[in-house]
Structure formats: structure tokens, C-alpha cells
Amino acid sequence: MLKGREYVPLLYTRLAEIRAMRELPESSKNLMVPVFKLRPWLNSKELDRAVEVVEEAVGNRLYGLDLDEFKLNLNPDPSKTAATQFLQLFEKAEGYKNYYDLVASGPNRVPVFRGINDADLEIEKQIEHILHIDRGVFVRAKVGEPGSLLEIARKLAENDIDNAVFIIDCGWGRDLLVSAALASQFAQRLVNTSDKFEIVIAGSSFPDDFKGLGERFTIPAIERQLYFEVRRQVNFDALYYGDWGSTRPPTDPIPMKHVPRIDTARSTDWVCWRSEDDETYVEVAQRVITDPAWDGKLGIWGEYMVVATAEEEAVRIKAPAMAAAVRVNIHLHQQANFDNPGGLHVGDEAVGDDL
């Protein structure tokens, strides 16, 4: 499934990530197979709108359709149709039939194995759905909670399902490298089960606290170091890089004072400019585009938005969600072209309508 691709970003269907993906150059989208955790889309009445915005962003390309358990745990209002439809996807009846039916109804949707930490995950029934859909499967496991990962691998191999992609998700935090040994063990055991599987090593090291770091600072991206360490320990050609697209996991709202900040992404780090002395986004952006670290020639939406902000255009960064979309857009582009630096500078790029 991943042959010819370079990157597997793991994303939520939040506004920033959808906008960042939608505005990527087509050449970058061609180098990745994203996996989205679906949730009802903003104030839409039907759940279908959430799938539509994903497919508008990805285009006519394969993507993994996962479900956002965080939104499930929020106990959404069942009186809302989209919320009810969303809850039905988690029902275990007939091997998660509702979920697999949704996957099957779109030509580019790839299933993500459900409930691998459950005692009654109905492996055989889920495999029937996977065989019927015939687009392969993602199996995503947290490195510290592998559940039935290896049992699923054995069953998939027994059923000759070779186009399976196992995602070893090392989670979120600045200490990702502590998971390298365990991730390597699981990767090696998967290779021993079938050398036809593809394996993704993923995680996120983007921080959640920027206090005391000053008005400009650089944050190393640990994700690449993690991937390289696992690749050093596991000699396997079909080992792929993944990450969370420079995002953090969803959390409950926390009251705090918002401080404008603009981040840009390079291949192995992020450069951040944070408001000092009550600077606005416009003033922060003006610092960004005069900084030696600023490229400005990638030709992608994220950079255009920073320039538009510095020049006080009508459509510009005015809030954290747009600032996050800019960072994620540049990060996805950088990681898709990590081994293809010639593709980084893409020339003119159309700017889409607001979502």
C-alpha cells in the first residue's frame, strides 16, 4: 500500500489539520498516505460532512479512516444526528459492521482495525470485512498498549492479507526516544510474522508549553530520531516514517491567556516566534519574514499565510487555529519531501477558500 510513498501522517479531523492538508501541493500529497481520526465536523448535522471535508482535502487518493475515541469519551449529545451516527460506528455488532460499511462506501477509504485492546474484538469477522473491501488495512497500536497486535498479524498472514500496514504509535511527548527499543521489538516480531507487511514508526514531540523560551526559539523534532533509531535496530526495507503532523492530542479546554505565536517547520525542527510585549500576529509575522531562518521560497500555502499576515491582508493569521494550520501545512510538506529536497520548492501555489 505504501510503496512509492514516503510518509504517513496521523491526523485528527480538526480544522487546522484539514486546512493544512487541503492546501498542500499535489506533489506532496502524492508522497503520503494520511490516516485521519474522524469526528463530527464542526456544526454539521450529518456525519457525512466530516468524511467529505477529509476527501476534499486528500483528493482522489487512499487514506486511512480511523475514529476519534476522544470525541466518543466526551459523550456527545445523542439528540444530534451527526453525534448519533458517530456513536454507531463504535458498535461492535457483526464485527463493527457499521464502521466497515462506511469505509466500503467510499473508493479511497482504507479500514483501521477496530478495538485491538478489547477482549472481544472479533478478529475473524473483521477480517471478513477487510477481505470484502479488498483495500488492505491499517493496524494502529500504541507502543505501550499493543493489545492483540501480534495475534491480528498472525491472522492476517493466515488469510494472505499482505497489504496490511502496522502503525507503531509511540504517542506524544518530548521523550519519544525512550520508546525506540520497545518499538523495535514489536517491529521485528511483525517482520518475523510476515515480511510482506509494511510498518510505520510514528509519534509526536511537539511541545505544549512555551513559557520562558523567549521571543524566538528552535525546537528539535524527535520523531525523525526515533524512526532512524528503529531503522538502525530493525533491518527491514518496508519500514516507513510517520508522525502526528506536528500536533498534540486533543484535550479538554483549559482557561489560559492566549499569546500569539507563529511556527514554521524545517525538516528536523520547528522555529517559533512568540509575542513579546503584547505584539500582534502582524508584528510577529513581520519578525518572521525578516529572520535568517525564513525561507519564503517554498511556494506553499503556509508561507503565503505568514507573508499575508505580515502585510496585513484580509485573510491572515488572526487566531491559534490558523497559526496551527500554517505550521502543520509546512511540516507536512517538509516531511513528505524529506528524502526529496528537490521537491521542496514548488513555485506558485493557489490559495483555497476558507473552510
DSSP assignment of 12-45: ES-HHHHHHHHTS-HHHHTTB--EEEE---TT-S
What SS3 string covers 293-322?
CCCCCCCCHHHHHHHHHHCCCCCCCCCHHH
pLDDT at residue number 354? 54
List, in sequence order, every residue forming a beta bridge with 239; answer none if it has no partner.
199
Angle formed at CA 40 by CA 132 and CA 353, multiple of 5 degrees: 105
CA distance 25 to 18: 14
Q: Which long-range contacts (CB under 8 A, 24 or more apart) does 174-177 make?
A: 174/205, 174/207, 174/222, 176/203, 176/204, 176/205, 176/222, 176/223, 176/225, 176/226, 177/222, 177/225, 177/226, 177/229
Parallel/antiparallel/unpaired status of strands 216-220 and 261-265: unpaired
pLDDT at residue number 80? 84
Cβ neighbours of residue 119 closer than 8 Å, sequence gap 6 or more: none
Asked if 309 and 279 touch (Cβ cutoff 8 Å), the reply is no
pLDDT at residue number 78? 73
pLDDT at residue number 256? 75
Q: How many CA atoms lie within 13 A of 177 on its CB side?
A: 7
Cβ neighbours of residue 211 closer than 8 Å, sequence gap 6 or more: none
pLDDT along the chain (355 residues), means of 10: 96 97 97 97 93 98 96 77 94 97 98 94 96 98 96 97 96 96 98 97 95 94 97 96 96 83 97 95 98 95 97 96 98 96 79 54
Chain length of the chain: 355
**184: Cα separation from own chain's centroid:** 21
As given in the structure block, the three cell numbers for residue 192 are: 518475523
**129: Cα separation from own chain's centroid:** 25
A 10 A CB-CB count for 200 gives 25
CA distance 48 to 145: 31
Report the chain's terminal Cα–Cα distance, integer Å: 30
DSSP assignment of 98-115: HHHHHHHTSTTEEEB---
